[in-house]
Amino acid sequence: MKVADLTTTKDAIVFDLLRKELNRQRNGIELIASENFTSLQVLQAMGTCPTNKYAEGYPGKRYYGGCEVVDEIETLAIERLKKVFNATWANVQPHSGAQANAAVFLACVKPGEKVLGLDLSMGGHLTHGSPANFSGKNFQALFYGVKKETGLVDYDHLEATAVKEKPKMIICGASAYSRDWDYKRIREVADKVGAVIMADIAHPAGLIAKGLMNDPFEHCHIVTSTTHKTLRGPRGGIIMLRHDFENPWGIKDPKGNIRTMSQLLDLAVFPGTQGGPLEHVIAAKAVSFGEILADDFENYGKQVMRNAQAMAKAFVSRGYNLISGGTDNHLMLIDLRNKNLTGKKAQETLDKAHITLNKNAVPFDDKSPFVTSGIRLGVPAVTTRGMNEVDMETVVAMIDKILMKPDDEKLIAGLREDVKELMMGFPLYPEL
Ligand code: DSN
């Protein structure tokens, strides 16, 4: 039998599309706050043979034979991740951040019980209790918000709601909040009402990993994250504990035994919410955790923060209204109402110039989530491309030019060429 020639049997339609997407990423300015570019070795690890392997269970306790190598891969990923966050337990199997959060819900709260999270319209996340999501459909979701005058989390409101409603779980973390969190205050509230805290650090995780932002592990019982945002790994989720504990809420495993939180969480990921783990993605997670442990990643984190500061300053100096007036992390939220623009119009117009970001509701928005009054921008991806503070000024000048004349197609076409030329100076995957 003749061995197939991969070059001739390659699916040209799909691979042409993949090449097209690579060129889109290369030629544009990527400002979506939740996106990043992995290293080449992370990308390579993802496209490997463990995708062929079933490994339901955990290292040393699988439901399938032939798991000795993936056991080593998964153990390495766990050990590296524990080192990154000084954690004592980690689960690297969640396919995404939403899956990680679903597992925590399954482990800690029963259907119909109360949870308290940051309102989606104030910067929270779908999986923190939105009525459109499992977290809002199966549990009684309560919300805290941000203060209208400052744009900062309203901890008094959080406390008052918790004391009145006694939620089983308090969720902190956000997808569109540019400030650091007072985890100590949240723990004081949780202790008062007997709640468990889930900190979802998906957005700032890479900055927290290098000690550049407050450490949620000091005060929060359970920490979840995605791996593909500031952590710069493959698309996926993780759950971690710094201290394992016998759950004080009497939560039992499916057999009725009181279990430690780590056991409950392992059971909640598999078999609770997932089947076979994606061991090729776990291999790529291990590679990225190794990169985070290297010294260089601290420089990356610091540059992300310097770039965010520079970008925020450049927008403010041009009269843009930043929610909370600035940023402590990698992202910022801009209210465009004083520029007579909607978030939708801004996103669509900038897209034409290959500057990618997302429309985003601002706190107390009067427009629908499909239109919105704001945009969210983040710098993790452009920082990975090698951009610095001076480049942030250039990028903001380009954005401002377009937003000042959003219907000037000639101007936009010219800027699209400028964007392409600028990004040629910051090569992406030159080996590919
Ligand atoms: N969709 C992600 C974000 O853009 O922040 C959160 O899951």
Task: Measure 66 CA to ligand 1 centroid, in angstroms.
Answer: 36
The whole-number pLDDT of residue 1 equals 35
In a domain? residue 417 = yes
Q: Give the closest residue (by CA) to ligand 1 atom 4.
A: 34
Active site residue 183: no
228, 368: one domain: no
Same domain as 244, residue 227: yes
List 355's β-bridge partners, or say none: 29
Residue 235 designated active-site: yes
Answer whether residue 318 is part of any domain.
yes
Q: Is the CB of 373 under 6 A from ligand 1?
A: no
Give long-range contacts, CB 8 A cutoff, 24+ apart: 402-408.
402/349, 402/350, 402/353, 402/355, 403/336, 403/339, 403/341, 403/346, 403/349, 403/350, 406/341, 406/345, 406/346, 406/349
| Active-site choice (229, 285, 376, 385) | 229
Distance 98 CA to ligand 1 centre (A): 10
Shared domain for 205 and 90, answered yes or no, is: yes
Contact (CB, 8 A) for 349 and 392: no
Q: Ligand 1 centroid vs 215 CA: distance in angstroms? A: 21
Q: Is residue 70 part of a domain?
A: yes
Query: In terms of domains, do 237 and 289 share one?
Result: yes
- pLDDT, tens digit only, all 432 positions of the chain: 344 454 556 799 999 999 999 999 999 999 999 999 999 999 999 999 999 999 999 999 999 999 999 999 999 999 999 999 999 999 999 999 999 999 999 999 999 999 999 999 999 999 999 999 999 999 999 999 999 999 999 999 999 999 999 999 999 999 999 999 999 999 999 999 999 999 999 999 999 999 999 999 999 999 999 999 999 999 999 999 999 998 777 777 778 888 899 999 999 999 999 999 999 999 999 999 999 999 899 999 999 999 999 999 999 999 999 999 999 999 999 999 999 999 999 999 999 999 999 999 999 999 999 999 999 999 999 999 999 999 999 999 999 999 999 999 999 999 999 999 999 999 999 999
Q: Tell me the sheet residues that pair with 196.
A: 169
d(CA 356, CA 188): 40
Q: Are residues 87 and 167 located together in one domain of the fold?
A: yes
For the question of residue 54 being annotated catalytic, the response is yes
Q: Are residues 304 and 160 in the same domain?
A: no
Q: How many CB atoms lie within 10 A of CB 150?
A: 12
Same domain, 238 and 91: yes
Please identify which residue in the block is written with the tokens 């650090």: 201
Are 122 and 55 in the same domain?
yes
CA of 134 to the centre of ligand 1 (A): 16
Q: Which domain holds residue 369?
A: 297-423
Report which protein residue has its CA nearest ligand 1's atom 6: 175
pLDDT at 252: 77
What was the pLDDT predicted at 7?
54
Q: Do residues 107 and 268 lie in contact, with contact meaning Cβ atoms separated by under 8 Å?
A: yes
Residue 8's pLDDT is 56
What sign for the dihedral angle of Cα 118, 123, 126, 131? positive
- Whether ligand 1 lies within 6 angstroms of the CB of 97 is answered as yes
The pTM score is 0.96
| 200 annotated active-site | yes
* Of the candidates 182, 250, 257, 179, the residue with the CA atom closest to the CA atom of residue 220: 182
User: Domain boundary at 270, 293, 316, which?
Assistant: 293
Q: Which of 293, 311, 336 is the last residue of a domain?
A: 293
Q: Is residue 13 situated within a structural domain?
A: no
- Indicate the residue among 228, 260, 293 that finishes a domain: 293
**Other Cβ atoms within 10 Å of 394 Cβ, number:** 14
Same domain, 415 and 271: no
CA separation for the pair 44, 116 (Å, rounded)? 40
The answer to whether residues 310 and 411 belong to one domain is yes
Look at the chain and report how many structural domains it folds into: 2
Q: Are residues 249 and 303 in the same domain?
A: no
CATH of the domain at 360: 3.90.1150.10
Confidence (pLDDT) at 295: 85
Q: Is the CB of 34 under 6 A from ligand 1?
A: yes
Instruction: Give the CATH number of the domain where residue 133 resides.
Output: 3.40.640.10
Residue 32 lies in a domain: no
Do 362 and 273 share a structural domain?
no
